[in-house]
Structure formats: C-alpha cells, structure tokens
Amino acid sequence: MNPLPAFKRSFAHGVHPEGHDEQTAHQPIQRVPFVNQYILPLGQHLGVPARPIVKVGERVQRGQLIAEPGAYVSTTLHSPVTGWVRAIAPRRSPRGDLQTAIEIEADAYATQRLESKPTIDWASLSIDEFIKQIQNAGIVGMGGAAFPTHVKYDLPDGMRIQHLVINGAECEPYLTNDHRLMLERPEVVLQGTEIVRQKLGATLATIGVEMNKADAIAILKKHLKHYQHIQVLPLRVKYPQGAEKMLIKSIFGIEVPAGQLPRDVGVTVNNVSTIVAIADYFQTGMPLIERIVTVSGPGVEQPANLIVPLGTPVREVLRFCGGLKETTREVIMGGPMMGIPIASLDVPILKGSSGILAFTAAETSRPPEYPCIHCGRCLEACPHFLNPSRLSRLAKIGAYAEMAQYNALDCVECGACSFSCPSNIPIVQLIKMGKEEIRKVKVLNK
Ligand code: SF4
Ligand code: SF4
C-alpha cells in the first residue's frame, strides 16, 4: 500500500472554512499555574466510565491512579495534582449533563513535582503487555473523540496493521495545539510514532500534515534521518481531513467501507497529541494527566496554547488568558465545526478537550433559516456521500427508521453540510438528534 503522489493527496467532497489560526499559531506553548480545585469526570472517554479507587478525604499524589477501568472499553484516571479528594459526586460535564466526578483540592504547599519513575523498556514488552501499559497510562484519542487507545491496538486474531498514520492535519479552524506540538517537540512526535509503529509491527508510519503548517512539515522532516520507516506527507488543506477515513483516503486513495474500521484495511490512525502522550509515558512514566489546549477566538483577551492539567475548570484557563471580552456570547469546547457550546465556565478540561473558543455576536448570530432550495451543496460537501438534505428533512418529521435506511449512522457529524448550506438549515444538529433517536430504539430492541 503506497501513499499517493502529492498532487492526488486529497479526498472527495469536503469544505474550506477559513483557518483563523493567526491568533495562536506563532505563540509558544505555556504552562498554566496550578489552581485550587480539579474536577475529573469518570466518563471522560468513550466506553464504560472508570471506577474510583480513592475515598473522600484521602491524600493523593500528582500522577497517582485514582480510578481504574470500569470494563475493557474503558481506561484509567490519575490525579493531575498532589492534594486531597474532596468529593466523589455528580458534577456538570461540558455536555451539560451531570456525571460522577472525583473532585480534588490541590495542596497549595506541594511542589507538584512528578515523582520520577524508571522509564519503561517498551521494546521488551509483548504486544499484550504494551496494550496493558497504554490502558494503565489512561491514554485516549486526544483529537476529540477520546476513544481508549489500547482498544484500538488490540486486533482480532490474524489481523495485521501494515501502516500507522499519524494525524497532524488539525483541520478544525482556530485550533493550533497539534501544530505547536509538532513544532516544539518534533523528536518526541517521531519517538512516539516509532514506538507504536514497532509495537504494532507496521512496516511504515506516515505523519500527514496539512500544507498550511509548512514549518511543522519542515521541522519534522529535518529530524527524520534517524527514522527509516517514518515519512512526513504534506496534505492539501481541506475539512474534515482529520477524520480517520478521510485521512486514509487522502494518503492512500483507499476507501474504508461504511461500517468498517481503518484496521479492516490494515491501518491504525493516531492523533499527534496521543502519540506524544505515549512517548511521554514510556520515557518519563507520566500518565495522561495534562494536555495542550488552544484558547482562542475573538472573545478571548489573550489567545494562547497552554499545557493544562486535566480537571482544571474552564474559568481558570480563561482567567490565565486575561478573561473573556464583554462582547463574548458563546464559549465552545473543541473546534467551531465539531465542538460543543458549554453552558457553564465551571466545567473541567477533559482528555479530549483540544480547544476553548470564545465567540462574539458577530460569529454566533444565527442568520434566519430558509426553506431548502435543493441546490445540492450539502451533498457536494458531505465526505461520506450521504444526502444531508434528505436526512435533515427526515429528522424534522421524526422519520428515524427511514433515516437509518439512508445510513444516518455513517454521519461523522463533521458539520460540512451545515457550513455549505445557503438556507442556513441546521442540518448537522437535526441529523445528530435523529441519530440519538435511532440509537435509543436500537438499545430498546436489544
Ligand atoms: S451528513 Fe454528517 S458526515 Fe455528511 S457532511 Fe453532514 S455532518 Fe458531515
Ligand atoms: S445545502 Fe441546504 S438548501 Fe442546498 S440542498 Fe442542502 S439543505 Fe437544501
């Protein structure tokens, strides 16, 4: 399976939103100071929530295991600070619902130094031991999906990964945390890539980076000389190139069929941040207790890319950035295309929180919705060749069974259809709502 020549590297359909990366792309990553309180929801990854193993009042160290996996499709949770467990109780999640969370009060007098641990000799681990270590470290897909990474690496008997793909596309507007990570820690990106490539037995690893990050492409290529089985491929700029199936199509020209996974075509895809978290764990023993978050948008006083301990309230992150402008109307967690508006600034940063974006009335005012004019632009935008116009109409009238027949569940909720619609129809919101109803019926019929 060879990558396509540069002029062919793209996928069909998709859209071209403005990048808006000028506020943060040139700013070095900074570390936010420790704050007083941390909130760690047990269900911040896909799958079964983690199970607490600490009690209220207990003292915990930075990096200490505080919750173990609740099932196989689940992962661990570690304390981001040295302090005390103050509560294990329902707390508001960024989605707005109440979720059981471990609340930790930081010890203001602790050094917050991570206890040094012997590095783990990853090369000597069997694949099963390696997978267990990834679960022990609490590592999930950090591009936003938060799917436990160890599950992705656990292949059915007889299946083989030939090609590891590292997703450096970062195609959501405003977000630049992966960009900065590739620029500032290129050796670690390559070390993490090599660890995973070798453990999965892949013959080649490809780091796909959109061409608007030419400096990151150049610096990664400069460090490649020690890595014979890794290549860096520039990709044309297009949204949603960071979606796994689109990335595979752009790099190899291969379609992953609907209902199948990248591994079914011999590929595993990991985000740049996930790969760096893996390298950090094997080289320093640090489990996933912090991540880089892009704080940006016209409503933020001082946009930045920040290393933020998990569980830090959004309010504290924004305070470090000089707060919100008075004109701010909406704060989004994630990117503007797939992120979610948050109802409270007290919700915490999670493993999948790639961005905090603040928008003013100019960006958030919803233009009036008009009837569909059957222009077909949403069909041309949909990277999964769905009919978004029809799906949204069916969702509106509650025809969920029919939506399922038209493959609504293949929708990856990228929002390209809504972005392209001249009638301002909230297509992706309608489809999301319809998908939830389809899933409810599926659960009831099990
Ligand atoms: S229908 Fe789904 S996958 Fe297709 S463009 Fe809309 S949100 Fe994206
Ligand atoms: S883009 Fe909007 S107006 Fe055009 S066909 Fe799709 S739903 Fe209708």
* 103 φ/ψ angles, rounded to the nearest 5 degrees: -105, 130
- Which amino acid residue places its CA nearest to atom 3 of ligand 2? 372
User: Do 336 and 255 sit in the same domain of this protein?
Assistant: yes
Whether the pLDDT of residue 445 is over 90: the answer is no
Contact 207, 189 (CB under 8 A): yes
Q: Does an H or E element contain 115, and which?
A: none
pLDDT interval class at 443 (50, 70, 90): low
User: Do 159 and 280 sit in the same domain of this protein?
Assistant: yes
Q: How many domains does the chain have?
A: 2
β-pairing verdict for 328-333 and 355-360: antiparallel
Interval between CA 388 and ligand 2 midpoint (Å):
8
- The reply to whether 223 falls in a domain is yes
Contact 78, 138 (CB under 8 A): yes
- The reply to whether 230 falls in a domain is yes
Between CA 409 and CA 391 the distance in angstroms is 10
Among 345, 365, 385, identify where a domain stops: 365
**Position of tokens 């199948």?**
260
Domain around 439? 377-444
**Which residues sit opposite 59 in a β-bridge?**
84
Interval 119-155: pLDDT, tens = 889 999 999 999 999 999 999 999 878 999 999 999 9
Is residue 30 helix, strand or coil? strand
User: Ligand 1 pocket by C-beta < 6 Å: which residues?
Assistant: 381-382, 384, 386, 388, 411-417, 427-428, 431
- By C-alpha distance, which of 189, 146, 340, 172 is closest to 241? 172
- The reply to whether 275 falls in a domain is yes
Ligand 1 site-directed mutation target among 417, 419, 425, most atoms within 8 Å of CB: 417
Is residue 212 helix, strand or coil? helix
User: Do 293 and 320 sit in the same domain of this protein?
Assistant: yes
Report DSSP letters for 287-332, one per residue. Answer: -S-EEEEEEESTTBSS-EEEEEETT-BHHHHHHHTT-B-TTEEEEE
Between CA 306 and CA 303 the distance in angstroms is 10
Name the DSSP letter for residue 148.
B
- The reply to whether 257 falls in a domain is yes
Number of residues assigned to the chain: 446
Query: What are the residues whose beta carbons fall under 8 Å from the beta carbon of 374, sequence distance 6 or more?
Result: 389
- Looking at the CA of residue 377, tell me the nearest atom of ligand 2: 1
Name the DSSP letter for residue 273.
H
User: Do 283 and 429 sit in the same domain of this protein?
Assistant: no
pTM: 0.94
Among 339, 365, 391, identify where a domain stops: 365
User: Do 272 and 352 sit in the same domain of this protein?
Assistant: yes
Contact 377, 421 (CB under 8 A): yes
User: Do 285 and 419 sit in the same domain of this protein?
Assistant: no
Interval 241-285: pLDDT, tens = 989 999 999 999 999 988 899 999 999 999 999 999 999 999 999
Contact 42, 52 (CB under 8 A): yes
Q: Extract the tokens encoding 422.
A: 């001249």
Between CA 145 and CA 142 the distance in angstroms is 7
Q: What is the 3-state secondary structure (H, E, C) of 63-89?
A: CCEEEECCCCCCCCEECCCCEEEEEEE
User: Do 131 and 168 sit in the same domain of this protein?
Assistant: yes
Interval 356-403: pLDDT, tens = 999 998 888 788 999 999 999 999 999 999 999 999 999 999 999 999
Among 365, 389, 409, identify where a domain stops: 365
Q: Extract the tokens encoding 133.
A: 């270590």
- The reply to whether 85 falls in a domain is no
Q: Say if ligand 2 is within 6 A of residue 374 CB.
A: yes
